[in-house]
Amino acid sequence: MNTFQHSLIVGVIATVGLFSTQGHAGLVVGGTRFVLSGADHSKSVGVKNTGKEAFLVKSVVIADTGADMSGSVSDKPGNASNSDMPFVITPPLFLLGAGKSSQLRLECLSCQTLPADRESLYRLGISAIPGGKPAANSVQLAVRSTFKLFYRPAGLPGDAIHAYEQLQWKRQGANVVVRNPTPYYVTLFDMNVNNKPVRNAGMVAPYSTRTQPWCPTAGGCDIKWQSLNDFGGISPAWSVSPTAVAMAGNAVAK
């Protein structure tokens, strides 16, 4: 029986694979996250079929649901809905033969309608659909991988790569209020509190705050976090022990 296996390698590639007893094959996407600059208006996304069977490749851009920004959130940006989608991707559906490569073309036709003072977040969905006829007594499944797609207006102040260092942290009992004073989305990667990992810490949106019960009700609250750059690379670790007064963190000594 054929099944699909999804593997995500941070900073290198994302793979949607078809696994069988004869070997491993898959659709390789050239990136784990994508940034479309306001100065460029378009971007190419490479895909490659490393298997021995053809895939139907289906691509779509959808609005972000805010799932990575749980908790009490203030000043959450309101991205356009799917009905007001400023992006188009071509071709939206095509057959990619075994061992072949191709390029998806992502264009922003109406990004002037998006906020000009901060990033906007969308999702790029790429599906791999088996193109061949399934063998007897077997099941073929389509799997969609979803990638973060950031629209970054031209001329934003500061630098996205250092935005995570500027987060402001404040403690209110067991709650932590983290404020992002920058125009960039910040991913909280490999975050831990008192050396205990925080699962799916998510992101902090531009010019917004999140409140989460990450600290114990009493005692110390030492927070350490990293972030991801535009290519999925992992940033150096920073740490903070928040108090009732908002404060920034410091680089963790190597």
- Better-predicted residue by pLDDT, 105 or 145: 105
The predicted structure's pLDDT at residue 79: 57
Asked if the model's pLDDT at residue 11 lies above 50, the reply is no
Per-residue pLDDT tens over the stretch 106-125:
999 888 889 999 999 999 99
The predicted structure's pLDDT at residue 143: 72
pLDDT confidence band for 149 (50 / 70 / 90): very high
Asked if the model's pLDDT at residue 84 lies above 90, the reply is no
> What is the average per-residue pLDDT within 5-22?
31
Percent of the chain topping pLDDT 90: 65
The predicted structure's pLDDT at residue 16: 38
Give me the sign of the Cα torsion angle 12, 15, 20, 24: negative
Domains parsed from the chain with CATH numbers: 3-152 (2.60.40.10), 160-243 (2.60.40.10)
Question: Do the Cβ atoms of 91 and 104 come closer than 8 Å?
Answer: yes
> What is the average per-residue pLDDT within 191-212?
95
Percent of the chain topping pLDDT 70: 81
Nearest CA to 193 out of 167, 168, 166, 175 is that of: 175
- Better-predicted residue by pLDDT, 177 or 77: 177
Asked if the model's pLDDT at residue 174 lies above 50, the reply is yes
CA distances from 107 to 5, 58, 229, 230 (A): 30, 16, 22, 18
pTM: 0.84
> What residue has token string 């895909």?
47
The predicted structure's pLDDT at residue 130: 83
Cα 49–Cα 143–Cα 53 angle in degrees, nearest 5: 30
Question: Do the Cβ atoms of 121 and 148 come closer than 8 Å?
Answer: yes
At position 165, the amino acid (one-letter code) is E
Per-residue pLDDT tens over the stretch 236-249:
999 999 999 999 99
- Better-predicted residue by pLDDT, 18 or 141: 141
Radius of gyration, CA atoms only, the chain: 20
The predicted structure's pLDDT at residue 133: 62
Please state whether 171 falls in left (phi above 0), alpha (psi between -120 and 50) or beta: beta
pLDDT confidence band for 4 (50 / 70 / 90): very low
Per-residue pLDDT tens over the stretch 30-46:
999 999 999 888 999 99
Nearest CA to 124 out of 149, 142, 141 is that of: 149
The predicted structure's pLDDT at residue 154: 93
Asked if the model's pLDDT at residue 23 lies above 50, the reply is no
The predicted structure's pLDDT at residue 76: 56
